[in-house]
Amino acid sequence: MLRIENLSKSFNIGTDNEISIFNNFNLEIEENKCTAIIGSNGCGKSTLLNVIGGSIPIDQGQILIKGKDVSKLREEQRAIHIGRVYQNPSMGVSPSLTILENMSLADKKGQKFTLKKLIKKGNVDKYVKLLKDLDLGLENKLDTKVKFLSGGQRQSLSLLMATMKLPDLLLLDEHTAALDPKTSNVIMKKTKELIEKYSITTIMISHNMRDAIEYSDRIIMLDKGQIVLDKPSINVTEKELIEIYRAKLDQIVA
């Protein structure tokens, strides 16, 4: 479904601080599956999501979604095919707008519209039903500005908005990292419910190895822009991942 071919990406090219993240990197993501990307800081996880989403241009290579080359499309053009939930609960929503206005914005994705004609009354019942499925009581707060919601409520809303139009690909960028453990657990369960309900192909970056194993179908570990582990999640243990991390850390210390 997603194919990355011969991807190369460097930063600060031609300076003393030049860093090569990816060099002829290849990856294929299976349709209707959740793939967890893990690895230490600087391994290339966030850069990978950013080049897929289009917020960072690539130097060489191709990024194909369902066979279509999106490598040269701008971020807003790719957004028609891609949903994304960020680490910061406020990045996927408009805090100064109400829940209803945010839902309407998400529903207009890929369309031209004006704020004056943003809300269609005929769509309100649909939004209420979607919000009820979150089981957080947000359907009773349609006129509440999102900035007054908790971090967990905002992230739940962001997740719902990112999946409303059933994107070809959903990118989860450490979307529970800023939440407390209890709220994080709730969001992960809601995430699993949504992607399974709508069979959404998903790439999830996570520092939580337990979540990565429990909520994904496939685990990929990156190190210095290279894949050092690629296994079905059911065949991976948390102990195994910890041992790989420790081995990499020992190499750095040595």
Question: DSSP secondary-structure letter at 142?
Answer: T
What is the CB neighbour count within 10 angstroms for residue 47?
20
- Judged by DSSP in three states, 228 sits in strand
0.75 exceeded by pTM? yes
Per-residue tens of pLDDT for the chain, all 254 residues? 999 999 999 999 989 999 999 999 999 999 999 999 999 888 999 999 999 999 999 999 999 999 999 999 999 899 889 999 999 988 999 999 999 999 999 998 877 655 556 788 888 999 999 999 888 899 999 999 999 999 999 999 999 999 999 999 999 999 999 898 888 998 999 999 999 999 999 999 998 999 999 999 999 999 999 999 999 999 999 998 888 877 776 565 44
Domain tally, the chain: 1
- Provide the residue range defining the domain that includes 143: 2-253
Residue 188: name the closest of 154, 220, 152 by CA.
Answer: 152
Please give the order of strands across the beta sheet that includes 60-65: 19-29, 2-11, 60-65, 68-69
CATH number at residue 55: 3.40.50.300
Closest CA to 1 of 63, 83, 84, 93: 63
Strands 2-11 and 82-85: unpaired
**Nearest CA-CA partner of 204 in 52, 68, 23, 6:** 52
Q: Which residues contact 68 (CB under 8 A, 6 or more apart)?
A: 81
What phi and psi values does residue 179 have, to the nearest 5 degrees? -105, 155
